[in-house]
Amino acid sequence: MSLRYQINLRILISSLCILILGGSIAIWQARDAVNKEVDSSINLAVQLISFGFSQASQAPFNETAWLPKFNSLNQTRHLSIQLKEPSGQIIGLAHKNQQTNSDDQPPHWFINLVAAHYPEVEHQITRTNGEHLTLIIQANPLDEITEVWEESLGFFSSLFLLTLFTFLAVNLAFNKALKSIGVIVNALKVIETGQYNQRLPDFSIQEYDSIAKAINHMTGELNASQQENRALTQHSLEIQEDERQRLSQELHDELGQSLTAIKVMAVTAGRCKTGAVGTVVDLKQTTDAIISICDHLMTVVRSMMHQLHPLVLTELGLKATMEDLLNHWSMRNPELKLTINCPDEVDYLEQKITIQIFRVVQECLTNIVRHAQASQAEIKLELEHLNTNVSVLRLQVTDDGQGCAFEKMKSGFGLLGMKERINSLGGELTIQTQPQQGMSIIATIPL
């Protein structure tokens, strides 16, 4: 069900409720007004007649003198006055001149709702010849009901026009709002395809303008993240190619040359004739050279294997690998004091976590040595048990170096790579730094 249909349905139901309530109130007020008007007319007629008879109580009823008075009272609104003889015959009085045309009469249902039961008022009078007559006064509220009907029609017409105007005004307002929603939805569909340069225009409605600004801010952040990811991917590919080129160069320079030398020595040794003293000396020198070259090759291979993946991480665990890494950096940089605080529990972490933690610490130490100009650095690993089912691994690397400005920090691929490594584990990496106040890198990883 669309929003437009829901709004129109609610407006229609509200309008019907207003019309029903207004109609009930109008009919109740019309009934009350008709009752009051008829009662006052009857009371007035009775009082006038009673007053007239009290003034002429000494003389018998003079029909010639009273008929014109009855005729004038008969013209009064809402009343029907008749004289009834003892035989039941009605004495002819002038009929009411102001009778409502049948075409102008209100509907019968309205008359039945508004009209009430009005009792007849009878008054006994005596003619000059001693004959008794009955004066009958009866309510006739049709003209009053007709007026109330006309007033009700005007009220309902005004209410209907007001409801129609409200309906149109609300629809016009919502049409503008729905157009804004359509613009936002279309922009979101474009953003969904990865076009984060899509921008929403400014809206005159404050709420939609706030939504547009929030979406534009979101697309800006997504676009920046996309650019960072592309740059990081490109940088990773370049590092990969550089690493492959370096390995290829080392294989060519170290392994290739060494293997070639071993092959030449082996061929030379195979061509030597046994028995001579000099030949034995040459074979001894050749075998010593081959052993020396093999030792060198083993050192080169171990170094390459350590660069590709530290075997000690798999064999001895994360704690021993971290300590070995710090010893390696301490020997190469004796002016830098490195300390580590690491519990034994980290050795039981998953391998995908330990390798990423190792690479992050490795990158942190590289940055400290190259850029921080620090005198000491501390690496702290701890496991925080939030409850029986949830634990958190917290890594903190702190140095007392020269720190880094925020703008320069955002442009570094090393920090961006560390952030991506932690995010791949579902964790969060935060950096706290100020110029000349050192740097603290904190990584939190849920386990």
Give the position of tokens 């293997």. Answer: 259
| CA–CA distance, 371 with 377 (Å, rounded to integer) | 13
For 384-420, what is each residue's pLDDT tens digit? Answer: 887 777 889 999 999 988 887 766 666 567 787 888 8
For 61-82, what is each residue's pLDDT tens digit? Answer: 555 555 555 555 544 555 666 6
Interstrand relation of 337-341 and 376-385 (parallel, antiparallel or unpaired): parallel
Lowest mean pLDDT, pick from 211-215, 258-262, 423-427, 428-432: 258-262
Averaged pLDDT score across all residues of the chain:
77
The residue that leads in pLDDT, 321 or 23, is 321
Name the nearest CA neighbour of 255 among 315, 304, 202. 304
Whether residue 368 contacts residue 325, with contact meaning beta carbons closer than 8 Å, is answered with no
Query: Is this model's pTM higher than 0.75 or not?
Result: no
Interstrand relation of 439-446 and 428-433 (parallel, antiparallel or unpaired): antiparallel
